[in-house]
Amino acid sequence: MTTDLTTRTSLKHESLRPAIGSCILNSKAELLSGVLAGNIRNLLEERGVLVFKQINFTDDEQIAFTKTLGTYTTEKADGSASKITVNAKLNPDGAEYLKGSLYWHIDGTMNEVPILASLLSCKKPAPKGTGNTGFCNTYAAWEALPEARKAELDGVRAVHGVWPTVFYYEPEPDIAKLKGMMGVGENELPLVWKHSSGRKSLVLGCTTQRILGKTTMESALLIHELRAWATQEQFCYSHEWDEGDLVIWDNTGTMHRAEWYDPEGDRMMVRTKLQGEEPFA
């Protein structure tokens, strides 16, 4: 239990897994007051994922809560939260792009400064047994590597792009689609991110196209070897959604993915985001 000495309001939380995830037990009013924001930020960096079971925020409350934690950002012109579903009928403009979310990734690998965190709330869950969201702690995965392996990986750089994600769900894409994805460009990033805190994390995911200085086969082996390492059960947490749940994850130190659900179903989530504060380095 962490205590805010100014207000004497305590951040109440329980660990979900040894290396990742905590469940926050405070009331909606306490969370919206903002008095716990600093403690929530600290715990988020430590645990990677924070779960607020059936907190039942409205969209406006979710935006307000997000703003207590940092700078709110959205891709919506009107400043609203984003509706997240791969059902093309419910999300005609974004469903195709979200197909890549079914595979392990970090948001914002095409940017120099990725978003700090995402907040996802459940309005309509998929049927039980489907539609979970998986998370893995890439801080913990790095820290658990043997020292000799760390020495080999430190300083290695990788090229990321949106277009490699297409081949995860569509092995023979339409050329127009592929050209459109390639038009976003590519971005060179460190494989190991040294944060301003001094801690390090792995930068991985389905956007990773190749490792600089490696052959095609060497690149593929290293990318998939490290993904397999980072997504071992000991570093992972899979959240089974109930209506009203909210989950925050540290986008700078975790990978995430939506786990399979019927793309024609009515699973519906709402996402808000915290603007990034630190460039990849």
User: Collapsing DSSP states into helix, strand and coil, what is residue 118?
Assistant: strand
Average pLDDT over residues 256-262: 94
Q: What is the pLDDT of residues 46-92, one digit of tens each?
A: 999 999 999 999 999 999 999 999 999 998 999 999 999 988 888 88
pTM of the model: 0.93
3 has pLDDT over 80: no
> What is the distance of C-alpha 26 from the center of its chain?
23
Query: What mean pLDDT do residues 5-32 have?
Result: 90
pLDDT digits (tens, 9 = 90+) for 192-212: 999 999 999 999 999 999 999
pLDDT classification of 97: cutoffs 50, 70, 90:
confident
Quick one: average pLDDT of 245-260? Answer: 97
Q: Would you state the pLDDT for residue 4? A: 43
Which residue shows structure tokens 């990725």?
114
DSSP state of 105: B
Looking only at Cα atoms, what is the longest distance across the chain?
A: 59
Q: How confident is the model at residue 226 (pLDDT cuts 50, 70, 90)?
A: very high
Which is nearest to 23 in space by CA: 202, 201, 240?
240
Parse the chain into domains and list their residue ranges.
2-274
pLDDT at site 91: 84
Q: What is the pLDDT of residue 73?
A: 97
Tokens of 113: 């400064």
- 3-class state of residue 253 by DSSP: coil
Q: Write down the pLDDT at residue 99.
A: 86
Dump pLDDT digits (tens) for 118-162. Answer: 999 999 999 999 999 999 999 999 999 999 999 999 999 999 999
pLDDT at residue 5, as a whole number: 39
Look up residue 275 and give its DSSP letter. P
Beta strands at 13-15 and 49-52: parallel, antiparallel or unpaired: unpaired
CATH annotation of 2-274: 3.60.130.10
